[in-house]
Amino acid sequence: MRELQDEAKIRMPWQDVILQTSVRILIPFIQLFGLYVIVHGHYSPGGGFQGGVILGSAIILMALVFGLPASKHYISENTNKVLSVLGPLVYCGVGALCILCGGYFLEYSALNAILPLGEIQWHSMGIFLVEIGVGIGVMSIMIRIYRVLSSAGTIDQGL
């Protein structure tokens, strides 16, 4: 039994109840703020990159406090790989859709050929979709970079 406790201390050298409880309370608010920054990126300062960094930092904070396996339980490696492809795919998909509608890459007014909502509405919606794609991509890449660096490339235990 003593060996198991020592092994647990090697994997998680400290387990602070106050820190874990406060992080458990903070993580949903951090994620909500990250989503807010992404959604309001085309109206106010912020956007996909800043919101993606905030969302990624919530998962990294979880990995720092609860250990890397806990963050892998929240977002698995396969899910993270899918998200790291989905983000740029959304960005390029919006640009390709603009080209297919007869405009230039990311010329959102060309999307008016699909559904005549008006150029201003399509411009706003196009920027919103691009911000979502950038946010997803940045979040997943930040999580991946942390996992690789903290586990020396093995993605097993982390710090």
Assess whether pLDDT exceeds 70 at residue 157.
Answer: no
Q: Is residue 37 assigned to a domain?
A: yes
154 falls in which pLDDT band (50, 70, 90)? low
Q: Is residue 159 assigned to a domain?
A: no
Q: Is residue 98 assigned to a domain?
A: yes
Q: Is residue 9 assigned to a domain?
A: yes
- Range of the structural domain that residue 125 is part of: 2-150
pLDDT digits (tens, 9 = 90+) for 107-152: 888 888 888 888 888 888 888 999 999 999 999 999 999 988 887 7
Q: Is residue 158 assigned to a domain?
A: no
Q: Is residue 145 assigned to a domain?
A: yes
Instruction: Read off the pTM.
Output: 0.82
CB distance 27 to 37 below 8 Å: no
How many structural domains compose the chain?
1
Instruction: Characterize 80-106 residue by residue with b for buried, 16 or more Cβ atoms within 10 angstroms of its Cβ, and e for exposed.
Output: beebbebbeebbeebbebbeebebeeb
Q: Is residue 119 assigned to a domain?
A: yes
CB distance 131 to 35 below 8 Å: no
Sequence-distant (6+) residues with CB within 8 A of 96 are: 105
Q: Is residue 157 assigned to a domain?
A: no
CA distance 149 to 51: 22
Rounded-to-10 torsion of CA 33, 39, 45, 48: 90
Taking the CA atoms of the chain, what radius of gyration do you get in angstroms?
20
